[in-house]
Structure 1
Amino acid sequence: MSEVTSALLVGAIVLALTLHLAWLARRSRNRALAALAVDEARIRTIIADAADISDGTAGVVTWEGSWNGQRVQLRTIVDTLATRKLPARWLSVSITEKVAVPATFDMMMRPGSPTTFSNFDHLQHTLPKAPGFPLEAVLRTDRRGTRFPQGIIADHLEPFSEGRAKELLITPNGVRIVWLLAEAERARYGVFRQAAFGEAQIDPALIERLLTSLSALRDAINKSERQAA
């Protein structure tokens, strides 16, 4: 084979590989856009005015809207921190309305490693747990000596009975639950280091369930504060 022929063959192989990689990248983008459209359609069955307000952060998509007269926010987060055995896709559900608490209350389940969705690791003060909290839960706050209505909070922890709810955050500006949607497919991640989550999609019934739980918790805390006053 002549040098010219060899060069042409190598060039053809490089061109074919480049075109194939471009096709794979285009197919991946199209799949991501299709999945995003499905997520948004499902969210809007519960939050009709949901608007995508994402800021371009990789792996994070954020929607805001209203539900039962309250401002709410939904966010999906792909967590690929090296400290995790497998990448995870989280769903963060928040009601962004005032809550009658004096500081931040953060309950994290099994806080063994840092997360990309929470400031839990930066809260310096650990709270003792009242009866009714899960054994795996750790409670923290940003203000030493702050008292929270732990009895009321413990009565609204039903979503944490299944092992998929990760965090409950209560601040003066709102309440939030973070839920594990899916972990990456082990085989694909192990071989290709790709965080693929299969057919895991946002369930409208889950959104409504978590919003209902958060709304009941917020109402109970605010009602208790009004009665105490």
Structure 2
Amino acid sequence: MSEVTSAWLTGVLALALVVHIAWLARASRNRASAALAADTVSIRTVIADAVDFSDGTVGVVTWAGSWNGRRVQIRTIVDTLATRKLPARWLSISVTEPVVVPGTFDMMMRPGSPTTFSNFDHLDHTLPKTAEFPAEAVLRTDRKGVRFPQDIIAGHLETFAEGRAKELLITPKGVRIVWLLAEAERARYGVFRQAEFGPTGIDPDLIARLLASASALRDAINQSERQAA
């Protein structure tokens, strides 16, 4: 094979590779656009007035609206930190209404590595926990010496028995539950370093169930504090 022919074949192969990569990127953008539209439909099935007010942060989409007369927020977060074996897609469900607690209460399940969706690693004080909490849970707060109604909180952890709920955050501003939607497809991520999650849309029933759980916990804490006052 002549040098000219060899160079020509090399150029053709390089061009084919560039075209293929561009096609993959375009296909990925199209899938992402379709997935966002489907997620918005699912969310508005539960939260009719949900509005997308994402701030442009890569991998983060945020909706806010009202549910059962309460302000709520739904967020999806793609976590691609290098400390994870595979990128993960998280669903964050928040009831953004006041809660009568003395500070931040953060329960993280199996906190083995940093996350992009939580400040858990920046909380300085670890709380002792009662036996009713899951063995894999670690509790932290931002204020030393404060007490939280652990008996009430422990009685509202049904969603954490399924293994996909990751975090429960309670602050004076609201209650949040973070849920693992999916992990990236191993083959595609291993070859192309692309975080593709396949057909893993947001189930409206899951949204409603997590909102109900967060709302019930908030109500129970506030009712207990009113009775104690």
TM-score range with shorter-chain normalisation? over 0.9
Which AA in structure 2 matches 1:27?
A
Q: Match of 2:132?
A: 132
CA distance change for structure 1 residues 83 and 153 in 2, over 3 Å: closer, same or farther? same
CA separation in 2, counterparts of 1:157 and 1:75? Answer: 21
Aligned equivalent of 2:201: 201
Q: Secondary structure at the match of 2:21?
A: helix
Kindly tell me: are residues 4 and 134 of structure 1, through their superposed partners in 2, closer, same or farther at Cα, counting changes over 3 Å?
A: closer
Correspondence for 1:28: 28
Question: In the alignment, residue 89 of structure 1 is paired with which amino acid?
Answer: R
> In structure 2, what is the equivalent of residue 122 of structure 1?
122
Q: CA deviation at 1:87?
A: 1.0
* Aligned counterparts of 2:94 and 2:44: Cα–Cα separation in 1: 15
Q: For residue 82 of structure 2, what is the aligned residue in structure 1? A: 82
Task: Give the distance between the partners of 1:22 and 1:186, measured in 2 at CA.
Answer: 21
1:99 & 1:108 partners in 2: Cα distance?
Answer: 19
Q: Which residue of 1 aligns with 2:165?
A: 165
Alpha-carbon offset, residue 40 of structure 1? 0.5
Cα gap change, 1:165/1:221 in structure 2, threshold over 3 Å: closer, same or farther?
same
Structure 2 Cα separation of the partners of residues 38 and 157 of structure 1 = 29
Q: Which amino acid is 2:137 matched to? A: A
2:58 matched to 1:53? Answer: no
Letter in 1 for 2:157: L
SS in 1 for 2:43: helix
Report the counterpart of residue 96 of structure 1 in structure 2: 96
Distance 1:27 1:151 in 2: 50
Structure 2 distance, partners of 1:152, 1:2, is: 79
In structure 1, give the amino acid aligned to 2:52: D
Please tell me the residue identity of whatever aligns with 2:45: T
Shift of 1:17: 4.3
Deviation at 1:20, TM superposition (A): 3.7
Query: Given residue 53 of structure 2, which amino acid in structure 1 is its aligned partner?
Result: I
TM-score by length of 2: 0.93
* Alignment-mate amino acid for residue 169 of structure 2: L
What is the aligned length? 229
What are the ranges of 5 or more consecutive residues in structure 1 without an aligned counterpart? none
- Code of the aligned partner of 2:132: G
Distance, in Å, in 1 between the alignment partners of 2:86 and 2:32 is 20
Deviations 1:43-73, CA, capped at 9 Å, x for gaps: 1100011111111111111111110000000
User: Using a 3 Å threshold, how does the CA distance of structure 1 residues 4 and 43 change in structure 2: closer, same or farther?
Assistant: same
In structure 2, relative to structure 1, the CA distance for the partners of 1:29 and 1:133 (3 Å cut) is same
SS at match of 2:22: helix
Hey, what's the Cα distance between the residues in 2 that align with 1:57 and 1:90? 15
Deviation at residue 186 of structure 1 after TM alignment: 1.7
- Bigger shift: residues 23-32 or 56-65: 23-32
Task: Note the aligned Cα RMSD (angstroms).
Answer: 1.8
Residue 216 of structure 2 corresponds to which residue in structure 1? 216
Give unpaired runs (5+ residues) of structure 2.
Answer: none
Q: Which moved more, 1:101-110 or 1:195-204?
A: 195-204
Provide the C-alpha distance between the structure 1 equivalents of 2:7 and 2:109, rounded to a whole number of angstroms. Answer: 59
Q: The residue matched to 2:35 in structure 1 has which SS?
A: helix
Shift of residue 37 of structure 1?
A: 0.2
1:176 Cα offset (Å): 0.2
Normalized against structure 1, the TM-score is what? 0.93
Query: What amino acid is the match of 1:66?
Result: S
